[in-house]
Amino acid sequence: MTFTMKDPLNTQRLVAGLGSPHGDDQLGWLVIDELLRSRIPGVAVRKLATPHELLDHLQDVAELIVCDAAAGGTVGQISRYIWPDLPEALGPRTSSHHSGLRITLELARFLFPNLGSPQVWTITGTCWEKLANATPAALIAVPILAEEIRHALASGPLDEA
């Protein structure tokens, strides 16, 4: 099976935020909202509900950053992981997004050989209740993470960042 959907911006860099409208699970989406306030040339940004949706956007992507909420640890903590060194917490075959991020990235690396080593950035949260607001301590980290991602993208190829 091949994926032929091409990014309308014809970019080789993608930042994808995973999430839902439920509590801290929306943190990945909120980082994308923050990134959209000032466009980054040559970088596409997407809000996705499941990791598996990444596969629809990777045809011409060489560099990928995924933003997501994480459970466990200090609320508002920002963490960065580079493939294949992902923590076990990101490793289940299923998650609140139905398809685990680790298995999706394994598949993406197989289907898209030009994809470099994806980066996964997380903000630790604690509230996952349906349609709840995000935790204030986690919200503080959103613009900080967006700025860290902008800096990483401006510094050159992600594999060197």
Q: Establish if 48 belongs to a structural domain.
A: yes
Q: How many domains does the chain have?
A: 1
Q: Establish if 77 belongs to a structural domain.
A: yes
CA distance 108 to 92: 16
pLDDT at res. 128:
94
CA distance 142 to 132: 17
Our measurement of the distance from residue 59's CA atom to the centroid of its chain's CA atoms, rounded to an integer in Å, reads 17
Of the pLDDT bands very low, low, confident and very high (cuts 50, 70, 90), residue 97 is very low
Residue type, 2: T
What's the pTM? 0.86
Q: Does residue 58 have a pLDDT over 90? A: yes
Q: Establish if 75 belongs to a structural domain.
A: yes
Q: Establish if 141 belongs to a structural domain.
A: yes
CATH of the domain at 84: 3.40.50.1450
Q: Does residue 11 have a pLDDT over 70? A: no
Which phi and psi angles does 6 have, rounded to 5°? -100, 145
